[in-house]
Structure 1
Amino acid sequence: MIKSLRARLFIGLTAIILLTGVVGGAFAYLWAFDEAIEMQDSILTQIANFAQNGSFRGDQSLRGIDAEADVDVEELGTTPSGSVEDRKLWTLRDGLHTVSRHGRSMRGVLRTRSDGSRFAVVQRTSIRDEIAGDMALRTILPIAALIPCLLLVTAMVIARSLRPMVRLAADLDASRPDDITRLPSAGTPSELHPFIVSINGLLERVRLLVDQQRRFIADAAHELRTPIAALSLQAENLDPVELPEAARDRVVTLKEGMQRTKRLLEQLLALARQEADPSVDSPVVPLDRVAKEVVADMFPDAVRKGIDLGFEIAQPIEIKAEPVMIATLIRNLIDNAVRFTPPGGRVDVGVYREGGHDVIQVEDTGPGIPSEDLDRIFEPFFRGKRTTDDGTGLGLSIVKRIVDRLGGTIALDNISSSASPGLRVTIRFQSSNTDVGSIDKIT
């Protein structure tokens, strides 16, 4: 079964054109064949008129006049004589007849002169049919040549007619996954308007549903922050209290659980903020300064774990974005790198310009990401095989959404070097500032 609308239209119209061409060509051939036969009958009649008026007689051959037509004038005399065919021919009345002469079918005109002598102007039917067939064939040649042209024009018209639909599908495919903007109906054929209206209605329902989910996540995370903060404070107040060793271990476990819950709430709030549409133009942010502030905040955690956290390079670069978005992006990258890098490892941060792009790069000496997890690593709450850490599975998802919103690209590469394996995360934004020269990529 053919599922393509374009193919179905082309096959259907092709069948109609071919059927019409064959039927029309057959009728044209038969009509032209009959016309050619009638024309040859008219020629025989005219020759008979000349012979009857005495312009020439049967001893004057007509072959030199029209060799292809093979027309002859036979004198039959005033009385029947000769062979059976001659006598039978003589007995026919004046006019057009199809007769047998010398074992061959002939078409002839019989006439009687004023002196009583009779003659016949004859022509072989096979010659007549050949001449008529050639003339009829020339008649249908234009139709045969027109059919391929019609098929080509049909294909072009179908392609042009369906181009708005193809363009609409391409625009939908090229849009961002979170883009639920209404489809424009201007410039599209009227036949597509009901389809576009239905899609816009579906997009509106999806937008309302997504907004409800965003509000629910943001409200839930916001409402939970206060009790979690209160619980954390109460747990901190237990530090100066004399407690048994078992109870002290349980308090430490409680603190870690609340810290993990607090981090989850912060990630959920950041996720809700990044999914909300910006209401104002973004300011210009010094990318290197934000990165340095985040590294300074994360430095104590790295020191406690024995990790060397610092900059490989930090060029002064400005980018148009919300400061909280850039800070959240860099914080999540460094937080992931610090948590998965073993003690004694290294996390290098780079901020630089390369080939017309502003680049943020974070490279660690951790275990990297399993290749089977790379395709899903940006999905919310996906943690892959690394389920022993205290992560929430939202960090890289938030990073990806921020990068997409800012029109950038992100690439994750496992470093296979035996000297220092790890993970390299590279984010590129289209540069709008050419004050700082480009540098070679950090490796």
Structure 2
Amino acid sequence: MIRSLRGRLYVGLTAIILLTGAIGSMFAYRWAFGEAIELQDSILIQLASLAQNASFSGGQPLHGVEEDTEVWLIELGKTPRGSADDRQLFTLQDGLQVATWKNQPVRVLLRTRPDGSRFAVAQPTAIRDETARDVAFRTLLPIAALIPCLMVVTALVIAYSLRPMVRLAGDLDARRADDMTPLPLSAMPSELQPFITSINGLLARMRLLMDQQRRFVADAAHELRTPITALSLQAENLASVALPKRARERVAALRLGMHRTKHLLEQLLALARHEAAPTGLAEKPLAALDHVAKEVVADLLPEAADRGIDLGFALVEPLTVRGEPAMLAAIIRNLLENALRFTPRGGTIDIGVYREDGMAILQVEDTGPGIASADMDQVFEPFFRGSRPEGEGTGLGLSIVKRIVDSLGGRIALENIAGIGRSGLRATVRLPIAGDPDSSPSKGKESRETQAPEPGCG
């Protein structure tokens, strides 16, 4: 069963064209065949008119019209004579008849002269039929050539007529998941407008539900932050109290849970703040990507030092992009926190900020275990922590990064690093460049010791 509307239209119209062409061809063939027979009868009549006042001896062929027609003029005399075929022809009445002559059926025209002598003009019916079929077949050639042309034209007309629907589907596929702007009704066929109106109504309801969900998440996270902060402070105060070993272990577990809950709330608030700012890319402020990266790296240097991880820049160039500095910082911080969480002690995390093919590139490369290939398609989904979760992650970091990068008109890609004696993960973020600051790039990994006061040096 054909489910495609285009296929149904094409099959239906093709069937109509073929059926109409077959019926038309049949009538055209029969009409052309009859006309060819009548034309050959008129030729016999004309030849008989020429022979009306002249006499010929015996039966002789006439080739005056066409060499292959095999028209014969037969003198029958005033009384039956000659062969049995001639005597049989003599018995026929004047006019067009079908008879047998020389053991073959012929179409014969008999006439009587004023002196009483008779003659016949004969032509084999096989040749007449062959000529008529040839003429009729040539009549069908234009119809046979027209049918494929009609099928091609039908396919083009259907494709052109359904192009607005295909374009509409392409526009919907190219949209971001959170883009709920109504579809345009202008320049759309009237048949599609009710369908588009229904889609716009559905988008409006989905936008309302998403706004309610965002407000709920933001409000819940904001309301929970204060009591969680208070509980965290109380748990921190218990660290200075002399407690039995078993109690200290429980307090440590409590502090770890509080810290994770606080981190989750901060991620939810960051996600809510980002989704509550629907401004377009052109309306976003300019920000120096390299400065934001250095500030975030400087904040994370103490944590990297505690974990024994070498954190620093492999390449940094001054680049300006459009976006809130806080959102850019959220991208960099989430990528670096993931790298710190999975990189083992003694490992290395390299950050790169540079230009490539007209795009600003932010690259974070670590020496951790990478991401399982089965998890690659799901790592950007909210609350997904992979098949080997580790540390205090909430599963929101990469989801937040993906949403922010998409809103800034960029792309993010993750790839595992595989080599002899090494592994790791490379995260590459591409953002449109908004400006060209006039300052020379600084290349090479910056010293972790001599330049510790400079932001971004490990």
Number of the residue aligned with 2:389 = 387
Distance in 1 between residues matched to 2:406 and 2:279, nearest whole Å: 17
Sequence identity percentage: 61
Number of the residue aligned with 2:123 = 123
Mark the CA change 1:59 to 1:336 in structure 2 (over 3 Å): closer, same or farther.
same
Distance in 1 between residues matched to 2:55 and 2:21, nearest whole Å: 47
Mark the CA change 1:440 to 1:148 in structure 2 (over 3 Å): closer, same or farther.
farther
Q: Secondary structure at the match of 1:416?
A: strand
Write the deviation string for residues 368-421 of structure 1: whole angstroms up to 9, x where unpaired: 222222221111111112334211011111111111111112122222345553
Moved more, 324-333 or 61-70: 61-70
Residue from 355, 358, 361 that aligns with 2:357 = 355
Displacement, 1:225?
0.6
Displacement, 1:284?
0.8
Displacement, 1:300?
2.2
Give the residue type in structure 1 aligned to 2:200: N
Distance in 2 between residues matched to 1:421 and 1:120, nearest whole Å: 106
- Paired positions, count: 441
Distance in 2 between residues matched to 1:386 and 1:138, nearest whole Å: 77
Number of the residue aligned with 2:368 = 366
Q: Secondary structure at the match of 2:435?
A: coil
Contact 1:342 1:366 in 2 (8 A): yes
Distance in 2 between residues matched to 1:431 and 1:335, nearest whole Å: 25
| TM alignment of 1:13-412, pairs within 5 A | 13-52=13-52, 54-55=53-54, 57=56, 61=60, 63-66=62-65, 67-279=67-279, 281-412=283-414
Contact 1:353 1:438 in 2 (8 A): no
Distance in 1 between residues matched to 2:9 and 2:146, nearest whole Å: 19
Write the deviation string for residues 124-166 of structure 1: whole angstroms up to 9, x where unpaired: 1112112212222222221122222222222222222222222
TM-score, length basis structure 2: 0.89
Give the residue type in structure 2 aligned to 1:215: R
Mark the CA change 1:24 to 1:391 in structure 2 (over 3 Å): closer, same or farther.
same
Contact 1:307 1:343 in 2 (8 A): yes
Displacement, 1:438?
8.1
Distance in 2 between residues matched to 1:208 and 1:159, nearest whole Å: 36
Displacement, 1:89?
2.4
Moved more, 304-313 or 398-407: 304-313
Give the residue type in structure 2 aligned to 1:63: L
Moved more, 405-414 or 73-82: 73-82
Contact 1:354 1:439 in 2 (8 A): no
Q: Secondary structure at the match of 2:377?
A: helix
Number of the residue aligned with 2:433 = 431
CA RMSD of aligned residues (A): 2.4
Distance in 1 between residues matched to 2:275 and 2:342, nearest whole Å: 27
Number of the residue aligned with 1:5 = 5
Distance in 2 between residues matched to 1:76 and 1:389, nearest whole Å: 121
Contact 2:319 2:436 in 1 (8 A): no
Give the residue type in structure 1 aligned to 2:121: V
Contact 1:287 1:318 in 2 (8 A): yes
Mark the CA change 1:322 to 1:85 in structure 2 (over 3 Å): closer, same or farther.
same
Q: Secondary structure at the match of 1:238?
A: helix
Contact 1:50 1:56 in 2 (8 A): no
Give the residue type in structure 2 aligned to 1:329: I
Contact 2:316 2:443 in 1 (8 A): no
Moved more, 394-403 or 17-26: 17-26
Write the deviation string for residues 158-191 of structure 1: whole angstroms up to 9, x where unpaired: 2222222222222222222322322222222222
Write the deviation string for residues 37-65 of structure 1: whole angstroms up to 9, x where unpaired: 1111112122222322x145456955242
Q: Secondary structure at the match of 2:188?
A: coil
Write the deviation string for residues 102-139 of structure 1: whole angstroms up to 9, x where unpaired: 22111111122222222212111112112212222222
Q: Which runs of 5+ in 1 are unaligned?
A: none
Higher RCO (CA < 8 A, seq sep 6+) = 2
Write the deviation string for residues 62-92 of structure 1: whole angstroms up to 9, x where unpaired: 5242332222222222223344443332232
Write the deviation string for residues 212-235 of structure 1: whole angstroms up to 9, x where unpaired: 221111111111011111212222
Q: Secondary structure at the match of 1:392?
A: coil
Distance in 2 between residues matched to 1:424 and 1:155, nearest whole Å: 48
Mark the CA change 1:350 to 1:47 in structure 2 (over 3 Å): closer, same or farther.
closer
TM-score, length basis structure 1: 0.92
Contact 2:63 2:69 in 1 (8 A): no
Give the residue type in structure 2 aligned to 1:19: L
Mark the CA change 1:63 to 1:46 in structure 2 (over 3 Å): closer, same or farther.
closer
Displacement, 1:431?
1.9
Contact 2:63 2:70 in 1 (8 A): no
Give the residue type in structure 2 aligned to 1:11: V
Moved more, 114-123 or 319-328: 114-123
Distance in 1 between residues matched to 2:442 and 2:3, nearest whole Å: 52
Moved more, 299-308 or 100-109: 299-308
Give the residue type in structure 1 aligned to 2:424: G
Give the residue type in structure 2 aligned to 1:384: G
Distance in 2 between residues matched to 1:441 and 1:149, nearest whole Å: 67
Contact 2:320 2:437 in 1 (8 A): no
Distance in 2 between residues matched to 1:328 and 1:344, nearest whole Å: 25
Displacement, 1:340?
1.8
Contact 2:318 2:441 in 1 (8 A): no
Displacement, 1:34?
0.7
Contact 1:341 1:365 in 2 (8 A): yes
